[in-house]
């Protein structure tokens, strides 16, 4: 009997840590570079035709749609190489009895610290000061960049999960007033931590600094659009280290160019790499990083191992704590 096979649909990390972890557990592994629906289907089918038994997928960016899931027989588990899992149709996987797990703990410190660095950088105007000095301008009290007193500055955190809660705690420790919105966290828990629980609308409207940490879903796509941006304070700033499509980037660029918003710091974008013709590249008050908030040598070493271990544990019949669709088992019971 062939051992279970873990198919790595795509992975742009260097090295072979994911494969090595799988094979060390006695399973076989097939690694591909599939970034389209058809490529994923072909990869899994080719593995099966070669005598493998594809039972689990490791996915980084490949789209795992309902169509793909219908075409890859035998797959029982999907392990996402990362925290977000919007490239997987989780509802379709649940209907088909396929468990989906992510790797939610591998870069919490990194993303939170990157976020706080961006918040501080904008609050103290570091990017603008640096550019001014390099251009020959020596003016500590110029209207731009903003240089705020932290205790007089409100940071709104939308999304109070592992990363958002650490950002809130860090900002509060620095002296910011912190508001929190998360529809899945009881207000009493937020208040017990020392923050003010608010509605999404209030979080956006009262923010001097708005920091996004919500998962991407149909309910959160473009949660910051032209209408919600219009409710923000003049001069407010936006930080996004979560998912690019949470923001309507054209509306954001309009608000920055028009002067309604003061600045933005962005690590994630609707299309990555950020297109060369994006207006965000041309705006001096925008701080950009290349989807790098997750990165540290330690995080990069942990991610592929953690992702592979999810698949190993599941195929061995052991519990996987990061399964995001526990209802998948109901489909198997039908």
**Is 37 tagged catalytic?**
no
Q: Looking at the structure, do residues 41 and 119 belong to the same domain, yes or no? A: no
Q: Looking at the structure, do residues 210 and 263 belong to the same domain, yes or no? A: yes
**Long-range contacts for 141-150 (Cβ within 8 Å, ≥24 apart)?**
144/262, 144/285, 145/263, 145/285, 146/122, 146/235, 146/237, 146/262, 146/263, 147/123, 148/123, 148/124, 148/208, 150/123, 150/174, 150/175, 150/176
Q: Looking at the structure, do residues 301 and 231 belong to the same domain, yes or no? A: no
Beta-bridge partners for 157: 180, 211
Q: Looking at the structure, do residues 74 and 119 belong to the same domain, yes or no? A: no
CA 240, 246, 247 angle in degrees (round to 5)?
75
Q: What is the pLDDT of residues 178-214, one digit of tens each?
A: 999 999 999 999 999 999 999 999 999 999 999 999 9
d(CA 191, CA 68): 43
Contact 179, 198 (CB under 8 A): yes
d(CA 103, CA 306): 7
Predicted confidence band of residue 331 (pLDDT cuts 50, 70, 90): confident
Nearest residue to 7 (alpha-carbon basis) of 61, 93, 78: 78
What does the DSSP 8-state code read for residue 64?
A: B
Following DSSP, what letter does each residue of 100-131 receive, concatenated?
A: EE--TTTTHHHHHHHHHHHHHHHHTTHHHHHH
Q: Looking at the structure, do residues 327 and 256 belong to the same domain, yes or no? A: no
Average pLDDT over residues 94-119: 97
Q: Looking at the structure, do residues 166 and 266 belong to the same domain, yes or no? A: yes
**Is 35 tagged catalytic?**
no
Q: Looking at the structure, do residues 52 and 157 belong to the same domain, yes or no? A: no
Q: Looking at the structure, do residues 227 and 309 belong to the same domain, yes or no? A: no
Percent of residues in the chain assigned helix, strand, coil, to nearest 5 = 40, 15, 45
Q: What is the pLDDT of residues 70-99, one digit of tens each?
A: 999 999 999 999 999 999 999 999 999 999
Instruction: Name the domain count of the chain.
Output: 2
Range of the domain at 90: 4-106+297-333
Name the helix (H) or strand (E) containing 177. strand 177-181
d(CA 99, CA 309): 14
Q: Looking at the structure, do residues 115 and 27 belong to the same domain, yes or no? A: no
Question: What pLDDT does residue 3 have?
Answer: 79
For residue 172, the SS3 value is helix
Cβ-based neighbours of 137, under 8 Å, separated by 6 or more? none
| Whether the predicted pLDDT of 334 surpasses 90 | no
Catalytic residue among 73, 201, 272, 298: 272
Predicted confidence band of residue 143 (pLDDT cuts 50, 70, 90): low
* Largest interatomic CA distance in the chain: 74
Q: Looking at the structure, do residues 34 and 129 belong to the same domain, yes or no? A: no
Question: What pLDDT does residue 127 have?
Answer: 87
CATH of the domain at 99: 3.40.50.720
Q: Looking at the structure, do residues 140 and 196 belong to the same domain, yes or no? A: yes
Predicted confidence band of residue 145 (pLDDT cuts 50, 70, 90): low
Q: What is the pLDDT of residues 161-172, one digit of tens each?
A: 999 999 999 999
Catalytic residue among 76, 181, 213, 243: 243
Q: Looking at the structure, do residues 21 and 142 belong to the same domain, yes or no? A: no
Beta-bridge partners for 64: 88
**Is 169 tagged catalytic?**
no
d(CA 50, CA 43): 11
What does the DSSP 8-state code read for residue 217?
A: S
Contact 204, 232 (CB under 8 A): yes
- Prediction pTM value: 0.92
């Amino acid at each position: 009997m062939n051992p279970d096979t873990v198919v790595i649909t795509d992975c742009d990390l260097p090295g072979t840590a994911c494969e090595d972890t799988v094979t060390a557990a006695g399973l076989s592994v097939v690694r591909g570079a599939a970034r389209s629906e058809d490529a994923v289907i072909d990869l899994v089918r080719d593995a099966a035709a070669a005598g493998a038994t594809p039972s689990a997928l490791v996915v980084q960016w490949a789209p795992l749609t309902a169509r793909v899931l219908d075409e890859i027989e035998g797959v029982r588990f999907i392990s996402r190489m990362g925290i977000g899992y919007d490239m997987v149709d989780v509802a379709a996987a649940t209907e088909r009895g396929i468990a989906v797990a992510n790797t939610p703990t591998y870069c919490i410190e990194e993303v939170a610290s990157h976020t706080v660095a961006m918040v501080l950088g904008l609050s103290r105007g570091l990017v603008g000061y640096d550019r001014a000095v390099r251009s020959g301008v020596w003016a500590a009290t110029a209207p731009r960049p903003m240089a705020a007193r932290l205790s007089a500055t409100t940071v709104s955190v939308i999304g109070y999960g592992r990363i958002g809660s650490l950002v809130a705690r860090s900002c509060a420790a620095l002296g910011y007033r912190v508001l929190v919105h998360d529809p899945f966290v009881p207000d009493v828990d937020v208040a017990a931590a020392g923050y003010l629980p608010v509605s999404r609308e209030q979080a956006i409207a009262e923010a001097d600094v708005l920091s996004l940490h919500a998962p991407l879903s149909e309910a959160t796509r473009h949660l910051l659009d032209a209408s919600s941006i219009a409710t923000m304070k003049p001069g407010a700033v936006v930080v996004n280290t979560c998912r690019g499509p949470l923001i309507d980037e054209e509306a954001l660029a309009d608000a920055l160019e028009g002067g309604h918003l003061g600045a933005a710091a962005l690590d994630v974008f609707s299309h990555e790499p950020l297109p060369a013709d994006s207006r965000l590249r041309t705006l001096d008050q925008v701080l950009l990083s290349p989807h790098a908030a997750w990165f540290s040598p330690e995080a990069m070493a942990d991610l592929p191992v953690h992702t592979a271990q999810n698949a190993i544990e599941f195929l061995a019949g052991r519990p996987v704590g990061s399964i995001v669709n526990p209802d998948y088992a109901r489909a198997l019971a039908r």
